[in-house]
Structure formats: structure tokens, C-alpha cells
Amino acid sequence: MSSHFTKCLLFFLFFLVLKPCLAQVDLMGLRFHHLPGDFSRCGESGLVSLPEQAAQAGFSLHDLKAKQHYCLAARFMMPAMPGENPSLSLSLLAATEVFIDGVKVGSNGKPAITSEAEIPGLIDYSISLRPGQLQQGMHLLVLKISSHQGSEQVKNPFYDFSVNEQQNPHANKNKQIILPLLLTGALLLVALLFTGLTLFYQRHAHWIIFSILCLIASNLLMVESWRDLVGYAYPFHITRLYLVTGLTWIFSILLPLYFLLLFRFKHVWEIVSTLALLTASVNFISPYFDLKSLMMFAVALLASLIINVIAYRRKENTSRISLAVVLCSLLLFLIPAFRFAETGFALSVCFVLLTLLLQLIQQFARDRQKAALATQLENQLLRRSLQPHFLMNSLSLVTELLHQSPQQAEEFIQALGREFRMLNEYASHTSIALTQELDLCQNYLEIMSTRLQKKCYLQIQGDASSIMIPPAMLLTVLENAFSHNKYKQETRFELTIHRDQKSVEIIMKLPVVSPRRHVGTGTGHNYIQQSLQEVFDGRATYVTEQTGEIWQARFQLPSV
């Protein structure tokens, strides 16, 4: 299911970023002459004189600087009409007036020689040309430009200059903003959903981070689409660039943090602090804002890739899906035709989040199943602790001890009370400390020693600290030993603990003495297997074998 979802999402994103192929004449490569004289009269008919071949022109619109004003002229060949109603599209950080063949065809703001006199233009501007205004052949173009209210931190203030077939401007704008609006709404709904799940259902740290990621991504989409959504005067462009850079930096920190928390890595905050410093230092490498965002996102993807590869090698649950998501995102990042700086970045972010959403939905379903299994195991544990046979034998023994040894009867009743109290407390936990489990076992052996009037004890070798296991796991093994054997002498049970960086091995050795003919239902064995599955997600094993007169139960647990 997840692979089909990923393929469909990839196809959908590629389809959305492919623009329709419209007739267009690209003017971005034009070389201009600087026109001397009075700037206020720039473009007036009769004042511009250029040779037919403007080979000496050496100025490009990419050379524009902030805090300047220019009067530029160039000749260009119009090869063919792009349509019956052509339009001239211009995108640069400046106020501009456009003249074709000595006729003013449009203005965007008001160019001037001072910041006070200049009226800033919009960052994107389109001029509708009248029929016959731009026929096939050679034409003279004059641009009156001023950028006094621009920021010198923007190193490339020029984005587009072309003649296009005129479209319905409202239809074009609707097509450009519908995807960001839909994705923004979807991400906000997802953020609200997981915020609600965190507050009212179950608190997972990676759910909280995912909600924040969705919120940041929705804001990033809105800031990215601000330009197409409402447009703005060019002095506000630097504000938008700072917002995009800041949101990208936050996203680039939170994305690896999500995977670190998902796979329960150690030293999370040390790793995140290092990544935060690394992504922040990227801002000093390049002066170009788009490249800053691109490099920060690249660092985040590479860090996420390393985390997912480690998780995959550790055989973590859902690591395969997460690794595929990060690899696909890197693929989108590396495809030149994807126009990453324009729309690819935002769409890659959405791809990551929407695919991770599927992963979280699957995890939510698994958590529900685990919750149901936990309730079932809790009920099993409580039922097993109230076995009629065990209670009847214990009560009979209490009656006898009250006549023979009241002190021993009191100690036996206290041991029974401790056993039931501990079982009742631990039944509501999916895992308990091994030291608590050993206390439960020692107390049970104290009860059985009194019942059999023979000493039964547990000899422990190894360090039991900082190990978590399902409740009553070892107790179940001991109970089975007493159910299957007739212990008439002092009995020693052995527990050995071996541990390394990757795993913990627990071996319990139980003597086989006068084995009973016992036809069991396998309830104890099933309880151990199911509880290990719930706690360790299939990463733990439990095997038993008999060697001579020793029955051995071996547990192999992952090191947490």
C-alpha cells in the first residue's frame, strides 16, 4: 500500500510542477547600452540612437545593483508573434518604465534618481501589448530602471523578461495558487489532528515534532506563494527571503530530530545542537538566499539519510519506509528539471511530510493493535495470578500453619499479599525493570519454599540494572517449572545475564525432577511470546531446550 501511495504522490508532484508549453520569446539574454543624459527624459522619442547591430552592448539585466538607476537600450529581433494578444512579462527588483520603438508601453512604479522620489514597482509585472505594437522584425527597447529602495543583500535582482501569449490573468493566478493553498490547508489539518492525538490520546515526542513540521511547512508554503498569491512591492522581497530562510532553517533541524525520536536514538539533543550549528553556518557560505535554503535542506536530508540507514541496519520498525522517503526526496533534490529553488523545495517538503503522514497512520493502527494486545495480556496476567488451584493449596496451608506455627502462617500470608500486590501493580505496565521482576520471583520462591517445606532459591549472575522486560516473564517460567516437576528437596534455580552494546541475553536454568504427566494449554508460553512481541516489536527471541536434567529458557533481548 505504501509503495503505491509513494508512486502516485511522486507522479502527482511531477505533474503539478510541469508548466504548460506556451508560445514565448525569451529576452533575458539581451545585452544593453547605457544611455547618457538626463534620466528623467530616458526613453523619449528622438533621444535614442543606436546602430542596427548593437555588438558593443555589454550590460545585462543580471548586472543590476541595488541603490542605482539606469537608462538602458537594446535592439532585438522579434522572430514571430507569440499569439494574437502578446504580453511583456518583467520580474526584477526595481521600478521600471518600458519603451518599445520610442513609445511607452507600460510602467511598474515610478523610476527616479533618489529613494524619496521613487515609487517602487511590483516584483512581477505584465504589460498587455496592443495588436500591431510588436510586429515581426527588429525593434528598439528602452528600459528606465531605478532600484534605490532595494537591498544590497539580494545579489541577483533579475528573474524574468519575456514576451508571451497573453492568458487570462485571473485564470493564471488561480492555477498558480490553488496547489499551495490546498497543500497548506492539508498540512494545517494534519498538524491539528496530531496535536489533538498528542493532547487527548497518547503523547509521543515524534508526533509533537511532526505536528510542528506540518505547521512550519504550511507557513513555508504560504510565504513561498505570497509572491503569486497577492504580489508585493519589490522592497518587501528581502523580508520574504528572510522568512523563507528562517523557516527552512527550523524545518532542517526538526526533520532529523523527528527521525531521531522515532527510532529512539541516544544523545538526541547533542546531535540536534550540532545540526543546528551546521545548518546555521551554511548561511555564511553563500550570499544567495535560494542557495542557502537549498544547502540547509540538503544537510537535513543527508542527516536524515544517515539516521535512517543506521535505523535500517538496526532493523528498526518502519525504517524501510522512512529510508525510501528520504531517498525519494534526495532524488527530487538532485533532478535539475525540477526547478528546486522555485517550486521544488516546497513540494519536496510536502512529499516528505505527506509520506511520513502515511507512516504515522500505519503506526497509529499498530499502536491501537498493541493497546488491545496489552489489555488482553493484562487480563491474562491477572487471571493467572488468581489460579484456583494455587489459591486453594495456599489457603489449606494457611489453615495448617495457624495451628502448627502461627508466626510462619503470618509470614506466608504477608508473602502472598506482596505477590498479589506486585502482580496487580505490574499488570498495567507493558514493561518493568528486571530488578522488579527478580523481586517478584524471589517472593514467589519464598511462597513455594513454605508450601513445600523445602528451600527454593534463585542464584543470579550478572548485572540486572537498566534492563526492561515484560512483567511476569521470568515468573511464568518458574511457575511452569513447579507445574511440570515434583521438587522434594532443596532446589536451586540459576539466572545468568550476559550483555553487550547490542543485546542482552538472559538464561534461566531449571532442574528437571520427577516430571509430571502434564497436558497444558500453552498459556504461559503464549503469554511470554506475545508480551515480548508487544515490548520489542519482534526484535526479541525466546527459546527453551532440555539438556539432561536441566531445562533451559533463553531470552535474547535488544539493548535499549
pLDDT tens, residue by residue, 114-131: 999 999 999 988 888 887
- Which class for 166: exposed (0-12), middle (13-18), buried (19 or more C-beta within 10 A)? buried
Helix, strand and coil percent figures for the chain, each rounded to 5:
55, 20, 30
The set of residues, in sequence order, having a beta carbon less than 8 Å from that of 315 and lying 6+ positions away, is: 539
Highest mean pLDDT among 30-34, 106-110, 413-417: 106-110
pLDDT band at 330 (very low <50, low <70, confident <90, very high): confident
pLDDT cut 70: percent of the chain above it: 78
Highest mean pLDDT among 69-83, 168-182, 232-246, 376-390: 232-246
Retrieve residue 410's grid coordinates. Answer: 503470618
pLDDT band at 34 (very low <50, low <70, confident <90, very high): confident
The set of residues, in sequence order, having a beta carbon less than 8 Å from that of 50 and lying 6+ positions away, is: 33, 73, 74, 75, 140
Across the beta sheet with 137-146, the strand order is: 33-34, 69-78, 137-146, 95-100, 103-108
Residue pair 88/163 in contact (Cβ under 8 Å)? The answer is yes
Cross-strand partners of 47: none
Picking from 32-46, 313-327, 399-413, 492-506, which range would have the lowest pLDDT averaged per residue?
399-413
Q: Is the pLDDT of residue 219 over 70?
A: yes
Element (H, E) at 547: strand 541-547
d(CA 139, CA 47) in angstroms, rounded, equals 15
> 300 vs 221, which has greater pLDDT?
300
pLDDT tens, residue by residue, 86-107: 888 899 999 999 998 888 999 9
Q: How many residues are recorded in the chain?
A: 560
**Do strands 95-100 and 103-108 pair parallel, antiparallel, or not at all (unpaired)?**
antiparallel
The structural domains of the chain, ordered by start, are: 2-15+171-368 (1.20.1070), 24-166 (2.60.120.260), 386-558 (3.30.565.10)
pLDDT band at 49 (very low <50, low <70, confident <90, very high): low
Phi, psi at 124, each rounded to 5°: -120, 130
Q: How much is the pTM?
A: 0.66
pLDDT tens, residue by residue, 385-439: 545 556 666 666 666 767 677 787 778 788 878 877 887 787 777 888 999 989 9
Read off the pLDDT of each residue in 224-245 and give the average, rounded to a whole number. Answer: 86
pLDDT band at 249 (very low <50, low <70, confident <90, very high): very high
Residue pair 88/98 in contact (Cβ under 8 Å)? The answer is yes
Q: Is the pLDDT of residue 306 over 90?
A: yes
Per-residue pLDDT at 340 = 46
The three-point CA angle 30-31-35 to 5° equals 125
Which 8-state DSSP code applies to residue 338? G
Read off the pLDDT of each residue in 468-494 and give the average, rounded to a whole number. Answer: 88
Q: Is the pLDDT of residue 14 over 70?
A: no
Average pLDDT over all residues of the chain: 80
- Which class for 507: exposed (0-12), middle (13-18), buried (19 or more C-beta within 10 A)? middle
Which amino acid type is present at position 243? L
The set of residues, in sequence order, having a beta carbon less than 8 Å from that of 146 and lying 6+ positions away, is: 68, 69, 70, 94, 95, 111, 112, 113, 118
> 560 vs 384, which has greater pLDDT?
560
pLDDT tens, residue by residue, 536-549: 878 889 999 988 88
Per-residue pLDDT at 275 = 92
Element (H, E) at 95: strand 95-100
